[in-house]
Structures are given as structure tokens and as C-alpha cells.
Amino acid sequence: MSQSTTLDSGIEPNAQALPPSNQKRDWMTISIVGCAHGSSHFFQLVIPSLFLPLGAAFGLDFAQLGFLMTLFFVVSGFCQVAAGFIVDRIGPRPVLWFGMAGFVVAALLLANATGFGTLLLAAVVGGVANSVFHPADFSILNHRVSPWRLGHAFSVHNLTGTVGWALAPIFVVGLTQILGWREAVLGVALLMLAVLALVVMGRSYLHVQGTHAQQREQASGSKAGVAPIVSVSVLTTLKQLLASPALWGAFLFFCCATIAFSSVQSFTIPLMSSLYGMTAVLAGSVLSGYMLGQIIGMVAGGFLVNITEKTEYVVLTSLVLAAGMFLLLATGWLPVVLVVLVMALAGFFSGVSAPSRDMMVRKVTPKQSVGSVYGLVYAGLDVGSAVGPLLFGLLLDSGLTRGPWVGSAVAFVGAALLAAQIGRVSRRMPTAERYAAS
């Protein structure tokens, strides 16, 4: 395979060392990466699911408990940038193992907590572990999965994350009711250990060479005739990436999209109570409807990626429609039956955008910087997760009961406009400087 062929196919040069791609190999890679990604989202809700027992056990107020998650996501956001550079240099597989092992350690720290200090340490360790998944996962998927199957790969990746969110409260709260909160967290540690074992056993499906290994092979003459990979310092790479308007736009896109989602995740139940007079149980069912709609949307979005190369228009349209659903909810005028339907549609439209947004980022990703780009861009998720609940909480405390849903609509529209801008920039980029769209 010539180097020009490699560029046209959208696969990086180091993918030439891999065996020929086939359907089974692709789906094994997608499945293993999906399980790891699901575990990261699962762990994000372990501490929130324990707020009540932790508060009772250590005399903590909600501000202290909320700070645990703020710390978790702040640490994750900062470390995600570093994780991206490490992924590019040593390969994503050992970094993914490190993240899974970090979740086991964080869970053990939680299970043996003696006070607020131990909980803070567990949040820090969990945040460091959480930081590796997006740069490692997307590096593996972009290198190992056939280009024509990437839409489905991104769809599954997003879907497994949502499933992880859905399962965590059931698992943690259920075990807490039966055995106690410490035993429940030990169960989380065992679950994370099982996923780590799966990722280690499936290591052949996750192998991607880092630039250091490629340089060593070329220096020993094992890749004669192939243009050498130029060693670029981390600082130089960081300067190049930060100078890219498309990547800044993608970072801000994820900030806006996550801020919008935070209102659903954190405030759906109190908003349904205040605006529509729902019980907590019924409001929880509405939230489940949103998640179900999002899952269905992600599956549909995986097919849309393969239909059009202009994925930014899919993102733009779906997020504007989701914003419209939130504005309808904010009126407080809908009958209960329509509330359930509108919330599910909001989830569906936001889910449809997910695979296309990942492909959109891929289009503006410079070659040899996959991990670095995804580490920088997806740090926007952590920023949004930290900012959104605080912003919307302040709106509610100020008496603006419709504020979170109106804010979600504004944030989704902002993300949609950023997606359109990213698409315009990507079409002006030479193909040799980025991944091919196909």
C-alpha cells in the first residue's frame, strides 16, 4: 500500500502494519472499546448515586458533595489534554489499561473512606482515570476500524456511554439498599476489574503503535522506503493545535452541548415537579424517556453518517430541533402526555447528532495527532459538566424556574452554529492535513 493510498483512505500510515480489516475484527474492536467507554460513564455517576449515604455517614452538606463532582471533572479535563499527547506517543492501549485500573483504585478508596479527605482523593483518582477514555478510544477506533464502518463505531461508542449512565444508579442504589454503601462500591470495584480483564484479554484488537514505536522501527530499518515520521515536541504540537480555529470551535461545541445536557441530567426531576406538578417517580420516568430517545437517536445517527459527508448539517439540524423541544417544555403549557413525548424527542434529536459530531471532529484532525486532538477537544465535555450544573443552579436559586430549559435551548443553538462553522473550516483544509471524510 502506497503512502498516497493511505492518505486517500483516511487511515494513518501506521495502520499499514495491521492485518487486513474484516467485519469480525472491526466489531470486536468496537465492542471492547464500547465496554470500556460504558464503564467510564458508569463511574461518573457512582459518587452522585451515593450522595445521600455519604452525606449521612460523614455529615456532609450538598455543597461539599457537589464539590466532589466538580473536582472529578476539573481533574479529568486537565488530565485529558495530557492523556491525548501520551496516547499519540506510546499508543492508546496501555493508556486505556491505566484508566481502567484507576477506576478500581478509586472505587477501593471510596469503599474504605474515613472522611471528606478520602472522598476528595477518590474523586481526584477517578478524574485522572476518566481522562484517558476519549483520546484512547477514538485513537483506537480511527486506526483500527474500516472507514466505511466508522459511523456505526461512533454510534456504538456514544450508545454504550449512555447505557453506562443509565445502569450506574440502578446498580449502586440497588446494592446500597441490599448490602450497604461500602459493599456497593466494592461491587463497583469488581465490575471495573472485570472490564479491565476484558480489555487486557482483547488487547490484540486494540493495538495501535505510538509515534515512539514507529520511530524505533524506522531507525532499525524495518520500514525501509517509508517516509520517516518527524519527531515533534509536545509544546510544538500544542501550539499548532491551539492555533487551529476548527479545534477551538470543536472544544466550544462540546462545552455548549454538555452544558445543555447538564440541565436534563441534573434538573429534570425538580423542573418537572415545579412546572408540571409531577411526582418524583413520574419525573424519573420522563428522564428515562429522554435517555431511551437518545439511544434510539444514536443508532439512527450512525446510519446518517454514512449517507452524507456534510455531517455538520446533521448536527446543526438535530440540535436546533432539540432546542425547540426544550423551549416547548419551558413554556409549562404542555399536557403531561405531550411532556413525555417532547422529552423523548429532545433525547432523540440530541442522540442523532452524536455520531456526526464525532465524524465532524475527525475531519479536522491533523494526522499523527489523533489522541492530542481528541484529548483537547473532548476536554470541553468536562468543562461543560463542571459549569452547567452551577450555572443552572444559580438560575433556579434566583427564581427563574424555566431557566435551565431555556438555557439548554440557547446552548444547543450555540453548539449548532459552531458545528456549521467547523464544517466550513474543514472543507477549506487540504486533505493531506486531515483525515479524509470517507
Same domain, yes or no, for 193 and 275?
Answer: no
Residue 221 domain-assigned? Answer: no
Same domain, yes or no, for 305 and 412?
Answer: yes
Residue 417 domain-assigned? Answer: yes
d(CA 320, CA 422): 16
Same domain, yes or no, for 169 and 305?
Answer: no
Residue 223 domain-assigned? Answer: no
Same domain, yes or no, for 181 and 260?
Answer: no
Contact 77, 383 (CB under 8 A): yes
Q: How many domains does one find in the chain?
A: 2
Which grid coordinates are listed for 390?
Answer: 452551577
Same domain, yes or no, for 243 and 301?
Answer: yes
Of residues 265 and 414, the one with the higher pLDDT is 414
Residue 89 domain-assigned? Answer: yes
Q: For residues 19-31, give the mean pLDDT.
A: 79
Q: Which of 207, 225, 242 is the last residue of a domain?
A: 207
pLDDT at 343 over 50: yes
Q: Which of 207, 242, 258 is the last residue of a domain?
A: 207
pLDDT score recorded for residue 379: 82
Same domain, yes or no, for 185 and 245?
Answer: no
Percent of the chain with pLDDT over 70: 84
Same domain, yes or no, for 174 and 286?
Answer: no
pLDDT score recorded for residue 323: 96
Q: For residues 201-226, give the mean pLDDT.
A: 66
Residue 435 domain-assigned? Answer: no
351 pLDDT band, cuts 50/70/90, is: very high
Residue 301 domain-assigned? Answer: yes
Q: For residues 333-362, give the mean pLDDT.
A: 90
Find the angle CA(124)-CA(128)-CA(134) to the nearest 5 degrees: 140
pLDDT score recorded for residue 69: 84
pTM recorded for the entire structure: 0.76
pLDDT at 230 over 60: no
pLDDT score recorded for residue 114: 95
pLDDT score recorded for residue 221: 54
Q: Which of 189, 207, 225 is the last residue of a domain?
A: 207
Model confidence pLDDT, tens digit, residues 62-114: 778 878 888 998 899 889 888 888 988 888 999 999 999 999 999 999 999 99
pLDDT score recorded for residue 347: 93
Greatest mean pLDDT among 105-109, 216-220, 248-252 lies in 105-109
pLDDT score recorded for residue 241: 61
pLDDT score recorded for residue 2: 35
pLDDT at 215 over 60: no
Same domain, yes or no, for 164 and 240?
Answer: no
- Of 299, 38, 17, give the one whose Cα is nearest residue 164: 38
Same domain, yes or no, for 250 and 368?
Answer: yes
pLDDT score recorded for residue 125: 97
User: Based on C-alpha coordinates, what's the Rg of the chain?
Assistant: 22
Q: For residues 362-374, give the mean pLDDT.
A: 73
d(CA 210, CA 225): 19
Q: Which CATH number do you get for residue 423?
A: 1.20.1250.20
d(CA 157, CA 163): 10
pLDDT at 271 over 60: yes
Domain range for 26 is: 20-207
Same domain, yes or no, for 76 and 122?
Answer: yes
- Of 88, 96, 11, 37, give the one whose Cα is nearest residue 372: 88
Same domain, yes or no, for 140 and 287?
Answer: no
Q: How many C-alpha atoms does 319 have within 13 Å on its Cβ side?
A: 31
Amino acid at 89: R
Residue 147 domain-assigned? Answer: yes
Which of 6-10, 89-93, 252-256, 404-408 bottoms out in mean pLDDT, i.e. has the lowest?
6-10
Model confidence pLDDT, tens digit, residues 129-187: 999 999 999 889 988 888 888 888 888 998 999 899 888 888 998 899 899 999 999 99
Contacts of 328 (CB under 8 A, 6+ apart): 334, 342
Whole-Å CA distances, 423 to 8, 46, 420: 19, 36, 5
Q: For residues 384-407, give the mean pLDDT.
A: 84
Same domain, yes or no, for 240 and 182?
Answer: no
Residue 436 domain-assigned? Answer: no
